[in-house]
Structure 1
C-alpha cells in the first residue's frame, strides 16, 4: 500500500475529531472519502499532510512511518494537497501560483515538463498564465490549485472538495481531469461532498460519519448501497 493509516485519532483541544480511523490507498488508485459536513474529512487530509498532529495511531507512506514528520518533508516524499477553499495566492499570477508548487525542486527540465503537463490538462491556465489569481473565477482557481499541487510531482495527490461551489458543467470537467491525472499515473485520495461523482470515479471509497469510518467498499458497491444512496445520493 502507498498510504496506510492505522487507528488514527485526532483532537482539536478537548474535542475529538477522529476516532481511530484506518484507511488504505494503493498505488495507482483513486480512493474517495465521503461524508457530511463536519464528518472529519478535511481533518483527515490535514493529518496526512502534516498540518495537524495526530493524538494516536500511525500514518505510513510507501512503507515509512511519517506520523511525526514535518509537512514540508512529506511534500518532498511525494504527498501534495489541493486544499479545501483552493488557497490560491490572490496577488500572484497563474504562473507564479503554479511555480509555488515546485519550491522543493531543483530539476529545471522536469519543472518545465510538468508545467507543460499542467497546461495540457488545463488549457485555460495556459491562456491566462499572466492573469492575477484573485481575479479568476472559482472554477479557474480550482484548476490553479490542482495544477499547483501537481507541480510538486506527487506520488499521492490529496484533493479536498475539488467541486465545492462550482457549476455543474465545471464539476463534470474537473472530475474528468481528475480521472485523466490518475490515468497518467498519479494516485489520488479524494475528499468530496458530491458523492455521486466521487463514487463514480473511485476504485474504492470510505464513508466517514462523526469522525468514524462506518462503511467501505468499491466505488461501484457504495453507489448501489441503500444506506449510502439515502444519506448521500438523494435516493429515498
Structure 2
C-alpha cells in the first residue's frame, strides 16, 4: 500500500476547474517528482495534499487512512509537511527561530531528540549553522531555501512536500539544493517534489508524473522519462 495515494483529485477555484481528476501515489522511501510548466496545476496539487485547498471530488489517503477532510494543521501532525513555493521564511526571525517554528506543532519528547534533529539539519546545511543568528529576511534566495527545507525537516515529516525548490536560484545553488534533497531521501524521508527543472529532478527521481493543464499525461521511472524525446522537447529544449 502506498504511503500517500491521491485518487481522482479535482480542485476548482470558483467555477474554474484547475485539476481534472488526477491520480498519483508515493511509496514509502521514494522520491517522486511532479513535473510541469507554469499553470499546469503543480502548486494546486501540493496545496490540496497539504489540506490548504478543498477537493471538489476525489480522495487523499495517507498511511492507509482517508484524510480528505482532515484539516491542514492535523496533516502536519500526521507527518505531511511542506516547504512552500517562494520559501516563506519569517523575515524578522533568526535562522534558529525559523527552524524552531518547524517543530511548533510537532514538539519533541525530549531536549536530546530536539538537539539530535537540529544537529542533522545543520549537518545538511552547514551554512545555516554559520548564520544561526542572522535574520531570515537578510539572507540570499538560496540560503532562504535552505531555511525553508530545514524548517520543514524539524517537523519530522514522513512525507516532505517540496514546491519548486530551485525557483529563482543560481545554477550552482540549484545543484547544491538537489544534492541535499537526494541526501534527505537516502536517509529515509519520503519526498514528493514539484519542479520545472526536468534535468535535476528526473535524474534523482524514482518515478515521475507529467502534469499538463490539470491532468496527468505521462508517468514512469525518472530516468526513463528523462530519455524520452517528447519530454526532452517540452522541458529541456531539445528537439
The residue number in structure 1 matching 2:219 is 216
The residue number in structure 2 matching 1:178 is 181
Structure 2: how far apart are the matches of 1:164 and 1:226?
A: 24
- 3-state DSSP of counterpart to 1:176: helix
Structure 2: how far apart are the matches of 1:171 and 1:90?
A: 22
Measured on the aligned residues, the alpha-carbon RMSD in Å equals 0.6
1:148 maps to which of 140, 147, 151? 151
Question: With structure 2 as the length reference, what TM-score do the two structures score?
Answer: 0.98
The residue number in structure 2 matching 1:39 is 40
The residue number in structure 2 matching 1:96 is 97
Structure 2: how far apart are the matches of 1:71 and 1:110?
A: 25
Structure 2: how far apart are the matches of 1:21 and 1:225?
A: 22
Structure 2: how far apart are the matches of 1:75 and 1:110?
A: 18
Structure 1: how far apart are the matches of 2:204 and 2:168?
A: 19
Structure 1: how far apart are the matches of 2:207 and 2:35?
A: 11
Q: After superposition, where does 1:55-134 map in structure 2 within 5 Å?
A: 55-104=56-105, 105-107=107-109, 108-134=111-137
User: What is the CA distance between 1:109 and its match in structure 2?
Assistant: 2.4
Structure 2: how far apart are the matches of 1:165 and 1:96?
A: 24
The residue number in structure 2 matching 1:13 is 14
- 3-state DSSP of counterpart to 1:84: coil
- 3-state DSSP of counterpart to 1:21: strand
Structure 2: how far apart are the matches of 1:233 and 1:33?
A: 15
Question: With structure 1 as the length reference, what TM-score do the two structures score?
Answer: 0.99
User: What is the CA distance between 1:112 and its match in structure 2?
Assistant: 1.5
Structure 2: how far apart are the matches of 1:110 and 1:10?
A: 38
Structure 2 residue runs without a partner (length 5+): none
Structure 2: how far apart are the matches of 1:114 and 1:158?
A: 18
Structure 1 residue runs without a partner (length 5+): none
**Aligned residue pairs, count:** 236
The residue number in structure 1 matching 2:207 is 204
User: What is the CA distance between 1:163 and its match in structure 2?
Assistant: 0.5
User: What is the CA distance between 1:113 and its match in structure 2?
Assistant: 1.1
